[in-house]
Amino acid sequence: MRTNTAAWGLAADEFTATGGWPPQLYVREARRMLSAYVMTERDCRGTVRVADSVGLASYTMDSHNCQRVVVDGVVKNEGDVQVGVSGPYPISYRSIVPTETQCANLFVPVCLSASHIAYGSIRMEPVFMILAQSAATAAKLALDAGGIPVQQVNITTLQTRLRQDGQHLQWPPVVDGEIVVDNASASVTRAGTWLTSSHVGGYWGVDYEHDGNTGKGVNRLRFTPSLPAAGSYAVSLRWTADPNRASNVPVDVVHSGGVTTRTVDQRSSGGQWVSLGTYTFPAGTAGSVLIRTDGTNGHVVADAARFLPA
C-alpha cells in the first residue's frame, strides 16, 4: 500500500515553499487556558446554561482512542469517547479571556478554558470562527472604551452587537417579541404525574415531560405566559416526535374569545414549532395552552408553548 501510494508523490501545487510538505503539524488538542469559567460536560449536555454566551457549539463530545489493546485475541481501540449532545449550547465569554490579574489584553478563542471532554465538542473549526469573531468584536468595544481590560467589556453591549451582526447566542434562536413557556418554567401547572426525559432530541430547553402513557384524562399540563400587552398572538406548540407518541392529543387554547380546542399528532413534526392558530389575548396571565390526555392513544409530550405577536 505504501509503495502504491508513494507512486503518486506529493501534491505539486500545495506547500510549494516547503517541498510539498505542510510546515505545521495538525495539533488536535494541546494545553488550554484556565480562566474564571471552565466549560465542562454540564455545558455540553445543557445541564447548565451560561448567561454570558458569545457563541454556540453543537458537535459530539468525542475523543479518539489513545491505544489499541488485545482482549481475548481481539484487537480493540481503547479510550474512544463518542457522546452526543442534545442540541447547540452557549459558550461563556469568561472561557475565552484569562483572569484579569494574569493578563488584561488577551483573547483565547481556540485554546479556551475547557475540560478535556468539553473541548472534544467545542474544538470544531466553525466554532473557532464564531468565537474569533466574537473576540474581535469584544476587542473593538474594549478599544472604544479607552482600552479597558477585556474582562471589563460590558457583556450586554457585546451580546447586543453580536446579535446585530447575526450571531446566535442561544438555541433555539430567539425571535423578536416571542414569549416561550418551557416545561421547566415556574408558570407551568400540572395535574397527575408527569415524567421528565431527554431521550428523544428536538426539545426546547434541557428536557421535556411525558405522561408515561398512563393517567389518561387525569394528567394534564398548562403553559401560562405573562403577555406584556393585549393583542393578537400566533400560538405554537413544540414536542418531540416518536412512533410511541399519541396521534390525537387535545390542546385547549384559552384566549379572550373563549377556549379553542385543537388536536395534534405527536408522532410527527417533532422538534419544531407547530401552529395552533392566531388568537386575541389580554395582557397578563389570563391566556394559556392546556395539554390534555383524554382518550389519547400513546405517550403525550409537553415541551414548550410559544406566543408571538401577530
Calculate the alpha carbon distances from 156 to 38, 73, 205 in Å.
Answer: 20, 59, 22
- Can you give the pLDDT at residue 79? 87
How do residues 182-226 score in pLDDT, each as one tens digit?
A: 998 889 999 999 999 988 888 887 789 999 999 999 999 999 999
- Can you give the pLDDT at residue 49? 84
What b/e string do you get for 112-141 counting C-beta neighbours within 10 Å, with b at 16 or more?
bbbbebbbbbbbeeebbebbebbbebbeeb
How do residues 63-80 score in pLDDT, each as one tens digit?
A: 988 899 999 999 999 988
Q: Are 118 and 57 in contact (CB under 8 A)?
A: no
The three-state DSSP-derived secondary structure of 104-151 is CCCCCCCCCCECHHHHHHHCCHHHHHHHHHHHHHHHHHHHHCCCCCHH
Q: Does 172 have pLDDT greater than 80?
A: no
**Does 252 or 65 have the greater pLDDT score?**
252
How do residues 97-143 score in pLDDT, each as one tens digit?
A: 999 999 999 999 999 999 999 999 999 999 999 999 999 999 999 99
- Can you give the pLDDT at residue 289? 98
- Can you give the pLDDT at residue 47? 82
Q: Which residues pair with 289 in a beta bridge?
A: 223, 253
| Cell numbers found for residue 176 | 423578536
Q: Does 175 have pLDDT greater than 80?
A: no
Burial class of 254 by CB neighbour count within 10 A (0 to 12, 13 to 18, 19+): middle
Q: Is 42 helix (H, G, I), strand (E, B) or coil?
A: helix
